[in-house]
Structure 1
């Protein structure tokens, strides 16, 4: 056995010593990176150009919730503005409820193993019986076609470019599934059902300068790409239910009791959590004097809206202090089952967490734009919509903070910065995971801080997992990724990329200025990956094409090594020559620690440009004695594929 181990060790060392480099400097530093030059619509600096445009969709919706059948029925009036330079003969809308049909594309493409986005049951989808169009004073029944989760409306007269407006009226209805692919659904509690309702009304697809109509079907993993506008909506429910929804509650005096209304108004001015509807209120079986309530909401300049309803809700709230002097409200709605944690770090702490999360991101990046931030406990594990998020009713402690902070972090990506989630999950999930790490560091002095997914120091196991051959790359659509890879390729790896860029390449100040500028430039607009790349490079003052090429466009990995150590004329007093080799395709800067036998140490940071001419780089170091040891990345900050070759030791 010992001989076998020795043979394996020798063979391994020899293979390391004679490893062939896969690195190609001309590929990594190829000068041609951007696929198209800047233009009047999207500047080469990364800013929206002087002729940048995007269309607008405003919605007015009224609907009813039938709790006996779990069915929502209503009507949406859509005011659509065509700001594009093109006349539009037809319009495309998203009708996401069709994902729950048995004959949907999502059902057909669900893997045998099921997974998070599999249908647990089927419904009849979004029932659309008619579409009425009103354009240039002419009202008519428009021809329409349903294609899976898309609705195409043909217009009798083209919608004119550069400001043409049309009004559409569409009645709709659907059944809320119990498990709605972890985006929506209903949870049965001891005090009644909790309805979490989203993707519930027909919404305009984006028409943009990159692709025209963006009509990718909704299959579950890929999320959303939507136009901005104002959304007014009303929900009529049985009178014993509490409803929370995106934006501002317009008629609290009509919906709350006198005592609840007072507490609701008190909460607007309180930094401490105020209970508006308690557990005892939930169990109080007062006879209702009316059969129903209509709850009215409005959210401004948003790309979507969602709501939740239940007679089981405990409701509490506190004020959110925003840096511009404005205020918002942190609100939590949850059942009594979510208050059972023995340590007390359960949903009774939710509002405190919401408040801290929103205040941190508002101060750090961009001010929160909505009048309320609502956290709802229910069947959904974690899902975000403007002004409201759905989180698991069973979350406690660090997991409650983590899911709350993550879902509200999505306010910035992609609710404020409206990137295309159907294509580029790394631009919302990854960016959000990155800012979550900074928020978690700040919350209660890091009470729930955990090691990054790569570890600190970086875990060799996670490097092998993240950069392994079976892992999908960032530039892969989420519906194309293997389901087990989504957590890394969409969330963790892009977050690690940004941490590395911030901490090891640009420095925190340069990175933060550039990242904040990206948010400000593209707030409530539709950036592409290239707009992000342009902005980061122009603001930070750094050509990062080699970096994006490594991390985003390819699945390259890093393997820096110490190839050999020699002395000038074999005399340490004349200096040492240390040859480094980049064995894999990813270039990164090098940190190096050199220890002499006399105890002296040298620490150096070498820029990425040492790899511009090839895989080998020889460093001249003035030493006063023989070198005892050379270590690359001594603090283990980089995702190096093979750390065994990061060290060189003086032979004895």
Structure 2
């Protein structure tokens, strides 16, 4: 008995070590309490913040930094110059002074007048009761502390600031094209992220974010006729408009007070408009989903009603496949200029057809996993955020909206086709490039949203779909509410599958090499294969014989140091599977000898191998 206990204990210790997080892992923490007084007629507000910042690193910090995102919406900002100098600027942020054939783009930021620009002006800042020195440099506030924050210490910041909400140009702003008065994203001085790599001080040029997890307690004073949708849970629904039929709006000097709280998120958004209506439903898993939108027509109202029902199904689907949604609420709020995710909420444009509306809601809600549960550094690993989110979105959309039932083989084939177009365009850059630095928006968006999906789906081809599904759930278990890197996801996939994946993640992320296999021919029942690309891969080779039988030959890659298990796809049902000797990347040629007359040979019938030239992947004799 004692020996059995020791054996069991040893097994558990080994199992835990296999799935352990990085040794010495730590992360900073924030606790915001903010009070905002809004003047909706001037689109300005006064802010008051108390922030508790916990330094969980081993370093004393003599400086800290805040992001002042609204400062980007000023003529002469880095965002303004970026719009003026990139070859394919975002159409939402520019005016075309030329023609469609010969465009001449003008940054919309460049034309903003002083009463249209955005700004955040810090008026006072104290740390642990003592005045701190600070200066603003673009969208970054640099704070020199009166005394360093020691390792393990929590400091209290007290800040007051004035702000002006810019014209709606990107994500945040006033008077959107759909008539939303205030879309309040990136609206507060936000503590910059500090980790093993140091401070992340990216100037805001319209890409995305990284921030520490923390708690938010936000109070908003605004005209009593306005309805507010926001991150977190509304604390006083009976005192404000829209959330409860029994509410009696309480106001002082014509203003109502709204209070929202949220725990363990890393961004907070809100939007406000007097035309907003609120609807809600609860998922089977207990998530209260709110929609806050302008019912501009009967069709729009019906679309939002349908989308709300599907949104509750979405949270149940994702909780099963990717880990339980851990917050009590999620708010879908009309606003912004497209769709953008925030902690427990999203802003989306609402005047869409039902397919578009459900699609954008599913995408932004999927970010609750691949961004907000895992505080991914989107400025560095944007594909890990957008690509994996798009993968989740597509699986859910096909099951819930299109009602396809069980999805086999490759559900994200459209992303593969977009990636092939990018890879052959001459505009592809490595996915490891910092998000801000892509030469084109075309290159950025296709590698982030499409090649990122390909990486995830093709990983299932390498390690097996069942192992991929297990990887997603184990990754959730280990890394929720933390800041994992792609390498952490790779390690979980390796531990689950027993397959080495260094070669795959390195080549597919850090290079623009492509995958290209072909069938050279068949001679005396010997199939000749060739690797014509720059990335070696394992091969599933389906052979159909003249007698009507089939055989699946699996050729592992030597670098894998392992094999994927047989997969239970219908295309392989009743098909004999034969595992061959591994193929190594230094030899471009490989032969498969069979014992019967061949009718047809197919490389990867599941279409998950991202082969950029597949015309020679099928040979019929």
TM-score normalised by length of structure 1: 0.80
Encode CA deviations 1:407-461: one digit per residue, 9 max, x unaligned: 01111111110110111101110111111122113215627999956349x75x8
The correspondence of residues 57-136 of structure 1 with structure 2, limited to 5 A, is 57-110=30-83, 111=86, 113-115=88-90, 118=93, 120-121=108-109, 122=112, 123-135=116-128
Partners of 1:366 and 1:455 in 2: how far apart? 26
Partners of 2:554 and 2:39 in 1: how far apart? 65
Partners of 1:539 and 1:371 in 2: how far apart? 30
| 2:452 aligned partner | 494
Say whether the 8 Å CA contact 2:224–2:256 is kept in structure 1: yes
Say whether the 8 Å CA contact 1:76–1:201 is kept in structure 2: no
Q: Does 1:231 align with 2:216?
A: yes
Deviates more, 1:629-638 or 1:303-312: 629-638
Say whether the 8 Å CA contact 1:73–1:173 is kept in structure 2: yes
Encode CA deviations 1:257-314: one digit per residue, 9 max, x unaligned: 8xx62579xxxxxxxxxxxx9xxxxxxxx99996110100111111111111111012
Partners of 1:557 and 1:213 in 2: how far apart? 34
Encode CA deviations 1:104-127: one digit per residue, 9 max, x unaligned: 111112236531573634455433
Partners of 1:549 and 1:395 in 2: how far apart? 39
- The runs of 5 or more residues in structure 2 that have no matched partner are 1-15, 94-106, 559-581
| 2:232 aligned partner | 247
From the CA coordinates, give the structure whose radius of gyration is larger: 1
Moved over 6 A (4+): 286-290, 447-451
| 2:299 aligned partner | 340
Q: SS of 1:161's equivalent?
A: coil
| 2:604 aligned partner | 633
The correspondence of residues 74-473 of structure 1 with structure 2, limited to 5 A, is 74-110=47-83, 111=86, 113-115=88-90, 118=93, 120-121=108-109, 122=112, 123-135=116-128, 139-162=129-152, 164-187=153-176, 193-209=180-196, 211-221=197-207, 223-256=208-241, 261-262=244-245, 291-322=254-285, 327-337=286-296, 339-340=298-299, 346-444=303-401, 446=403, 454-455=413-414, 459=417, 463-473=420-430
Say whether the 8 Å CA contact 1:440–1:448 is kept in structure 2: no
Say whether the 8 Å CA contact 2:239–2:250 is kept in structure 1: no
Partners of 1:542 and 1:590 in 2: how far apart? 15
- The runs of 5 or more residues in structure 1 that have no matched partner are 1-42, 265-276, 278-285, 568-575
Say whether the 8 Å CA contact 1:466–1:493 is kept in structure 2: no
Say whether the 8 Å CA contact 2:226–2:241 is kept in structure 1: no
Relative contact order, higher structure (CA 8 A, sep 6+): 1
Partners of 1:583 and 1:108 in 2: how far apart? 42
Partners of 1:77 and 1:289 in 2: how far apart? 24
Root-mean-square deviation (CA, aligned residues, Å) is 2.9
Q: SS of 2:495's equivalent?
A: helix
| 1:281 aligned partner | none
- Give aligned pairs, total: 559
Deviates more, 1:84-93 or 1:370-379: 370-379
Partners of 1:301 and 1:478 in 2: how far apart? 25
Say whether the 8 Å CA contact 1:629–1:648 is kept in structure 2: yes
| 2:436 aligned partner | 479
Say whether the 8 Å CA contact 1:330–1:355 is kept in structure 2: yes
Which one of the candidate residues 477, 486, 499 is aligned to 1:542? 499
- Using the TM superposition, give the Cα deviation of residue 328 of structure 1 relative to its aligned residue in structure 2, in angstroms: 2.9
Encode CA deviations 1:20-39: one digit per residue, 9 max, x unaligned: xxxxxxxxxxxxxxxxxxxx
- Using the TM superposition, give the Cα deviation of residue 594 of structure 1 relative to its aligned residue in structure 2, in angstroms: 3.3
Partners of 1:46 and 1:146 in 2: how far apart? 43
Q: SS of 2:296's equivalent?
A: helix
Q: SS of 1:551's equivalent?
A: helix
Which one of the candidate residues 520, 530, 543 is aligned to 1:563? 520
Distance 1:455 1:308, change over 3 A: closer
Partners of 2:173 and 2:475 in 1: how far apart? 31
Partners of 1:156 and 1:120 in 2: how far apart? 40
TM-score normalised by length of structure 2: 0.83
